[in-house]
Chain A
């Protein structure tokens, strides 16, 4: 039984990089037993997305403002391949801390 989580992926256009990151996260977290729902947006849409929905964490490849308490991690490591493990560990730690 996999655990459902929701992830918000943020990049400059809210289109290309965030989709690449989101799909990578879906794959990576499936291996860890999570069923991931993703939304993608750009930094200026962030507040709107956070007010409409609740996310387990945010993965960003463009600087973001106030995440209103949602854990947020830089997704640069997922794009370059340098630092994938750190991203996974930080995100997993925050999921575990939230009991997921």
Chain B
């Protein structure tokens, strides 16, 4: 299981995208799953290759970066009180109003592919995403997502 309870934050409020990504990515460094270079790599990559995605009534982001900044594979989730502007993946500059950030630390995609496939299903499950966003604790987020991400 790549989703970790200690990489879930709920009800966060950040002034902008860069602050949000950097602060949340710092947690991955603190937990020892990513190298100190990870937060900046996440911020830089989001600028070049945006990861915002439409997901029904609100948008989500699927932030990640090159595996060289990753120590061990993990998935974190950060829910936001106020939506933050991202751009849509695919590069046409469409503005996204992100309310959940899924942050991935991926080491070797081939060995984590079944989880990535399941995550893709989660991103398309509007009801589940609403449940995640409404959750008031990391435990609630974890319990909501776990059945959908278990491999």
Residues in chain A within 8 A of chain B (CB atoms): 11-13, 15-17, 19-20, 23-24, 40, 61-63, 74, 76, 79-82
> Would you call B104 and A79 a contact (CB within 8 A)?
no
Q: State how many residues of chain B have any CB contact under 8 Å with chain A.
A: 28
A80–B59 Cα distance when bound, in Å, is 10
Contact A19–B124 (Cβ < 8 Å): no
Name the one of B66, B106, B120 contacting A79, with C-beta atoms under 8 angstroms. Answer: B120
Asked if A74 meets B90 with Cβ closer than 8 Å, knowing A11-B49, A12-B48, the reply is yes
B117 contacts the other chain (CB 8 A): yes
By secondary structure, the A interface counts as mixed
Q: How far is the CB of B25 from chain A (nearest CB, A)?
A: 15
State which of A15, A62, A80, A81 has its C-beta within 8 Å of the C-beta of B109: A15
Residues of B within 8 A of A12 (CB): 45, 48-49, 51
CB proximity of A65 to chain B, nearest CB, Å: 12
List the B side residues contacting A16 at CB < 8 Å. 62, 64, 104, 106, 109, 116
Chain A: CB-nearest residue to B117: A23
- Cβ contact of A24, chosen from B55, B88, B92, B117, cutoff 8 A: B117
CB-CB nearest in chain A for B107:
A15
